[in-house]
Chain A
């Protein structure tokens, strides 16, 4: 008779006291990896990647044709004043940035891809993990967690990790891939030496983007019961803020209102990580309100909501 058909048997083994945050996060993440999530992630992941890859390819072609090598061509494409002021917010992909990135002189390429992924950054967590809290409440799974040695903080962190993982799929993963490609195919051996901080900047900035997206998705998921509504609202929030921001700036001619736009708020927060300087109108403590204070407040709200859910078990 197989051992599992021998009836109830006592357990004499060890019990681990380690936190089960990772196990919970994985258990939330894994079932949500449906085929359409992969498809969406691929589109969101490869869209900026593809654009820049084509730019790199063209640059290389030009370099090959000129016979001066990649770095030389890149340097020739830089032009004067190629930096924040020239290639700042709202500027479309610029081959000069690609040149700088390839020659290891600047990390702005990575930053600009990240800035362009600001909306995609919330789309995937919203669509794939919109029900991460709402489903638990509807299915009664909250009781499964809280009737076991799981604290509220562990529960919340596991949910943040789950939504952040989806965010990373469209921010950190493609950027790290891009940096790895640049490093692997660059004939200049000093590239890695010049850009060793890039992976750290990418992961750090992506983490900030992920926390921002997670705060919105989790706050909505903790308030609404239907995951579809959560997804729609979460995608709508940044689009709405971008629209409002643009309208106010047009009306008042005051650029400060750009802070409402998450691409500017998060871009401004993460720019220094890539060695950039903020324009004067953006270098203000008010930048922290939409990028840090708001997510923190939303997490506090989620924390409070989890307690409320816990009580009604």
Chain B
């Protein structure tokens, strides 16, 4: 799109990042490249997500390792990183006594915008995030959803190339959540912004992100594009048979098809790469069973997430 310089292929590049708090190792030699576009940063509490964001913003120093954000070393020039990046914090953050417009103008000035430009952009952005009518109200009077939008506006006012969003839909009702996700989607698709979306809500990540990084105990448990991950999971089938199940299982084994589990009366089976329904029909024929149902399982990101963390489905994430 006109007006936007081409961003680097990798917005964030992290190599061997180690961070310890006393005896607790928050990051254990974390190495990952975060591509441009929308990336979801997932992980249970204590996985190191917040620590990673703080390090990338230059608020914390690491014990060892390197990290580059948009080509800038976060340890050598943290201020430059913060100039290029927009950050929407997870927890409530507002400047007491200011109107919404003043708060966004102030953030623009902090980022180096001339006052007049900051005022112009503040009004634009507040309309963009849906706070146009409320921009002259004091931020203390804003509802939770409005504050969430205000934080997004503050993160966008200086037109950053990369935006870190920490739980951007926290506390929003379903409609508000969809609207914020639509805004984030618009930023990525229409305005070619790169975002790193840190969230516990997998639906949000699934709705917006093209790439996910799952952290577990300070290490990368899984990293890849959502499409690739889903493709890996597409080899799982749901099969319901009539006949001798034991014989069917033996036939599957001969065909190198694994039985992953059982859902009610159906089996969940994983076929090898390149195989599919024909192999299941062959196994049924060989075992003298009748196939009542054969369907691929569309895996949600949640199942991938749970598997990456070795947590059984239905477990506490």
Q: Is B89 within 8 A of A4, CB to CB?
A: no
Chain A contributes a number of interface residues (CB within 8 A of B) equal to 40
User: Which residue of A is nearest B58, CB measured?
Assistant: A146
Query: A147: which B residues are within 8 A, CB to CB?
Result: 57, 59, 82, 87, 89
User: Which residue of A is nearest B123, CB measured?
Assistant: A4
Interface string of A132-173 (1 = CB under 8 A from B): 000100011111111111110000000000000000000000
Most buried by B among A4, A14, A20: A4
Query: A131: which B residues are within 8 A, CB to CB?
Result: 96
Most buried by B among A7, A16, A147: A147
User: Which residue of A is nearest B91, CB measured?
Assistant: A140
Q: Is A31 within 8 A of B79, CB to CB?
A: no
Interface of A is mostly: loop
Q: Is B117 within 8 A of A8, CB to CB?
A: no
Interface size class for chain B?
35 or more
CB-contacts of B84-104 with A (<8 A): 87, 89, 91-98
Q: Does A6 belong to the interface (CB within 8 Å)?
A: yes
Interface string of A1-23 (1 = CB under 8 A from B): 00111111111111111101001
Q: Is B4 within 8 A of A10, CB to CB?
A: yes
User: Which residue of B is nearest A151, CB measured?
Assistant: B79
Q: Does A193 belong to the interface (CB within 8 Å)?
A: no
Query: B92: which A residues are within 8 A, CB to CB?
Result: 139-140
Q: Does B110 belong to the interface (CB within 8 Å)?
A: yes
Q: Does B158 belong to the interface (CB within 8 Å)?
A: yes
B: residues with CB less than 8 A from A are 3-4, 54, 57, 59-60, 79-80, 82-83, 87, 89, 91-98, 106-107, 109-114, 117, 120-121, 123-128, 132, 154, 156, 158-159, 186-187, 190-191
* Cα A14 to Cα B120 with chains together (Å): 14
Q: Is A23 within 8 A of B158, CB to CB?
A: no
Q: Is B94 within 8 A of A139, CB to CB?
A: yes
Q: Is A12 within 8 A of B54, CB to CB?
A: no
Q: Is B97 within 8 A of A140, CB to CB?
A: no
- Min Cβ gap A156→B in Å is 15
